[in-house]
Amino acid sequence: MLTSTHDLLETARRNAYAIGAFNIYNLEGVKAVINAAETTRSPAMLQLHPSALKYGKLPLVALCMEAAKTANVPIAVHLDHSTSAPDIELALQAGVRSIMADGSPLSYAENQKFTVDMTRLAHSYGAVVEAEIGRISGTEDGLTIAEKEAKMTDPAEAFDFARRTQVDCLAVTIGNVHGEYKSPPRLDFDRLDRIRRLIDIPLVLHGASGLPPHMISESIQRGVCKFNVNTEVRQAYMQALKAEICGQSPKDLLDIAGEAIDAMQEVITEKLELFGSVGKAYLHETPHAAWLAARQFR
Ligand SMILES: [Zn+2]
């Protein structure tokens, strides 16, 4: 069931759990997310990083949309980390109703202008917008942000930004990083509390791969209701392919694909359990069209 990100996040927030948003690149990734969500009766999100969009273009978007529509649990499709107005427009025209307008590489003023423009555009399609304030370090899909360029989210700036841009959810930087954590993760929960007190929209934490369970649950208690997961799932995929292709007994292509799906599904299932969304599919009953009808866009 293709579902609005708004419904997924608000329902999760009201019921003190979080939604797992998983980056996918191909059919195997999509199947792994849908299988894990259906098996555990959990809502989930399929996310396309701009590099995946560049690679798969409209056929990959269509695959995600169709998989979401035919799933028997609530699934949203989201464009992750887009810094490109044409890409955002392409995704909106292809039916995606959840986008991240990522102006975090820009100055604060430019980020604000980009986010305002993209939010207006997305809202004209009835889409939900995630933005980022602060800057997350680490590596994702070949893009590396050095630690010295990273910037923790300033609560007052986040408040001003959310109010002026009218975004629907906000990605925060509180010590989370993309890719692998080089040293044990340390999250600034006081900062998260200060942001939470000032801002009433759902908060998102990127870089959930490698966060220990107690940090996940503490983040949820303090207002995070979406976690982005990429690294651990793609590592499981690559390792499974390597093991199967280089294994002693050669296997058929579809058997190898199946092993890779199983490996990713196992990681995704673990994350859904940690996020507390297992068994919560029944709470998300609002189809996107009903949500749109109920909401007045600015
Ligand atoms: Zn991210």
Ligand 1 center–CA 136 separation, angstroms? 8
- Is pLDDT above 90 for 116? yes
Alpha carbons 173 and 252: distance in angstroms, whole number: 44
65-74, 104-113, 145-154: range with highest mean pLDDT? 65-74
Q: Tell me, yes or no, whether 226 lies in a domain.
A: yes
- Is pLDDT above 90 for 288? no
Q: Tell me, yes or no, whether 240 lies in a domain.
A: yes
CATH of the domain at 171: 3.20.20.70
Tell the burial category of 117 from Cβ atoms under 10 Å away from its Cβ (0-12, 13-18, 19+). middle
Instruction: Reply yes or no on whether 154 is catalytic.
Output: no
Structural domain count, the chain? 1
Ligand 1 center–CA 208 separation, angstroms? 9
Ligand 1 center–CA 178 separation, angstroms? 6
- Is pLDDT above 90 for 179? no
- Mean of pLDDT values over 93-101: 96
Ligand 1 center–CA 81 separation, angstroms? 6
> Where in the sequence is the domain holding 244, given as residue range(s)?
5-286
Tokens at 273, concatenated: 């359990």
Q: Tell me, yes or no, whether 150 lies in a domain.
A: yes
Q: Tell me, yes or no, whether 186 lies in a domain.
A: yes
Alpha carbons 207 and 266: distance in angstroms, whole number: 18
Q: Tell me, yes or no, whether 291 lies in a domain.
A: no
Q: Tell me, yes or no, whether 296 lies in a domain.
A: no
SS (HEC) of 55-73: HHHHHHHHHHHHHHHHCCC
Q: Tell me, yes or no, whether 293 lies in a domain.
A: no
Q: Are 2 and 234 in contact (CB under 8 A)?
A: no
In the set 7, 80, 102, 141, the catalytic residue is 80
- Mean of pLDDT values over 155-176: 94
Cα 105 from chain centre = 18
**Lowest-confidence range among 84-93, 221-230, 249-258, 271-280?**
249-258
Ligand 1 center–CA 135 separation, angstroms? 10
- Is pLDDT above 70 for 287? no
Q: 3-class SS at 279?
A: coil
- Is pLDDT above 80 for 291? no
Question: Which pLDDT does position 298 carry in this prediction?
Answer: 38
Confidence of residue 143 (pLDDT cuts 50, 70, 90): low
Q: Tell me, yes or no, whether 219 lies in a domain.
A: yes
50-54, 107-111, 281-285: range with highest mean pLDDT? 50-54
* C-alpha gyration radius of the chain: 18
**37-84, pLDDT tens digit by residue?**
999 999 999 999 999 999 999 999 999 999 999 999 999 999 999 999
pTM of the model: 0.92
Q: Which residue has the higher pLDDT, 155 or 291?
A: 155
